[in-house]
Amino acid sequence: MAEPRSMLMTALRDVGACLGFYTRLPLPAFQMPAHDFAAAQWAAPLAGLLVGAICSAVVIGAAMLGLPTTIVAALALAAGTLVTGGLHEDGLADVADGFGGGSTPEKKLTIMKDSRIGSYGVAALILSFLLRWSALVALGFVAIPVLLLAHAASRALMPALMRLSPPARENGLSAGAGRPGPGTVFVALAIGAALLFLFDPGFALVAAPLLALALFFIKWLAEKQIGGQTGDVLGALQQLAETIVLIAAVTHFI
């Protein structure tokens, strides 16, 4: 049985690895084998929680300056994009271009790997930002806690997709990371669910089923289009799930 100190150090390493990968914060480099990185994915929602905290802090600061809600919402989205380096937005755009522009799975994967962005990708990004911005404007100060939930819960789904759907590429980023174990997936989902329920059980009962639908919809779509998931598909899932939490919050709280 592992010693408590060893378990704590492993947990801290996992959190650091997820923060180092999913954000652009100036953190020390955490090097680990690919299979260990898959096992570390239980901490993905914790990385999301920090991203959400930064966005919430921007909302508080901008509101204290007396800025209108429209600008506060835009600054919150800008903060999230800067902190993550637009990692998941890039994935969404690549998926939209690939799925929309390719005629075969091979062509779709080739388009997704291209660094250039096409009309489908631009449209997907505009829609994503517009929906999230509109939700944040409608939420007002309620956006402060909801941003925490949206960023954490959306990233809690990613290990599950890595587990449930095979990699579409043999040498892609997701394939290199491997498949998280059932325990890793359970802990990630439990963290996301616990945050939703602790904030508001009624809201959790609204948001959780919608997030489950998002997970299985992206799984079905990706497997139909390219035979499995990629890092870009994981990014698209995060964007969809974040948007769902924000819109669900509007319907529940406003």
Is 15 a domain residue? no
Give how many domains the chain has, as a whole number.
1
Residues 6-22: what's their mean pLDDT?
A: 89
Mean pLDDT computed over every residue of the chain: 94
Q: Which domain holds residue 238?
A: 52-253
Token match 């789904």: residue? 157
Q: Check whether 172 has a pLDDT greater than 70.
A: no
Question: Confidence band (pLDDT; 50, 70, 90) for 173?
Answer: low
Is 61 a domain residue? yes
Is 218 a domain residue? yes
Is 178 a domain residue? yes
Left, alpha or beta for 56 (phi > 0: left; psi -120 to 50: alpha)?
Answer: alpha
Is 137 a domain residue? yes
Write the pLDDT tens digit of every residue in 148-164: 999 999 999 999 999 99
Whether the predicted model's global pTM rises above the 0.75 cut: yes
Is 7 a domain residue? no
Is 150 a domain residue? yes
Q: Check whether 1 has a pLDDT greater than 90.
A: no
Give CA–CA dist 152/34, Å, rounded. 23
- Judge whether 103 and 231 are in contact, CB under 8 Å: no
